[in-house]
Amino acid sequence: MIQQLTVIGVGLIGGSLARALRRAGFVGEVVGCGRSLGNLQRARELGVIDRYHQDPAQAVAGADLVFIAVPLGAMAATFASIRDHLAPGAILTDGGSVKGSVVADARQVFGRLPPRFVPGHPIAGTEQSGVEASFAELYRNRRVILTPLPETDPVATAQVQAMWEACGAEVTQMAVDHHDEVLAATSHLPHLLAYGLVDSLARLRENDEIFRYAAGGFRDFTRIASSHPIMWRDICLANREALGQMLARFQRELAELAADVEGGDGEALLAVFERAKAARDRYVGSQG
């Protein structure tokens, strides 16, 4: 049970956490913080938060748990603005999609990794953003990865885990680097490909007509290209090393496929397609 939760960045991720914890009766007061006054007012109207401050220093005062859900590029500045204002014993956690950069930012701003900072990442989201898009069920049956470090207080980790479990999530722990590799493969690279494909088609002279004939498969495939551009720029920069490696790997695969198409090598294409279909059907499962 959290007495005062402060959410910095009351958008889809932060707003959905507040809603889920309220519904679970896991939180007393929710204080919001963010740069857009309109969004904070809307969050209060919607009952997602009880009150707000635009100044992070004021917003974290008295909080026993602070959740940071800002784009990765704003993480260091956010740490700096709250560093000297956290209540004694306050637990700090975040929802950033890359963990190496957040840990590095925390180390730099605080001088060392704060023992009660628990880096975290809920594997959930939609291509929508803002508090209007938030909903209490976002984390139900979804995975949350925590990446505590040797210096992290295990009690703080347990409390953050309990918070996410109260939202219906399944919590696992992972090393920071491993998290960033896994997410580069399953999330960051797919987003880059979807953005790249849509941009590539949008640059075609006759793109108007091309998009008109895009059917259901294309809509699903490119849905993630409607995600928040700034958030994804920050993710690509923050995880550039692991993403760069996955991207290079994919470029080699694509070069092979291009050679197979050009050479008319149906056997090689079929082998790739069958292997991919089997892998997807096996792991992603029958939910499609």
**Is there binding between residue 201 and a second copy (CB under 8 A)?**
yes
Q: How far is the CB of 194 from a second copy (least distance, A)?
A: 6
Q: How far is the CB of 114 from a second copy (least distance, A)?
A: 26
Indicate the angle between helix axes 100-110 and 229-238, nearest 10 degrees: 80
Tokens describing residue 47:
């009952």
Tell me the Ramachandran region of residue 25: left when phi exceeds 0, alpha when psi lies from -120 to 50, beta otherwise: left
50 vs 260 by CB, closer to a second copy = 260
C-beta of residue 50 within 8 angstroms of C-beta of residue 30: yes
Question: Mask of contacts with a second copy, 103-132, x by CB under 8 A?
Answer: --------------------xxxxx-----
How far is Cα 13 from Cα 48, in angstroms, rounded to an integer? Answer: 12
Question: Mask of contacts with a second copy, 135-174, x by CB under 8 A?
Answer: -------xx-x-----------------------------
Considering only residues 269 to 288 of the shown chain, the ones binding a second copy according to CB under 8 A are 269-270, 272-277, 279-284, 287-288
Q: How far is the CB of 237 from a second copy (least distance, A)?
A: 5
Q: How far apart are the first and last CA of the chain?
A: 36
Sheet strands side by side (includes 170-173): 120-122, 143-146, 170-173
112 vs 212 by CB, closer to a second copy = 212
**Is there binding between residue 227 and a second copy (CB under 8 A)?**
yes
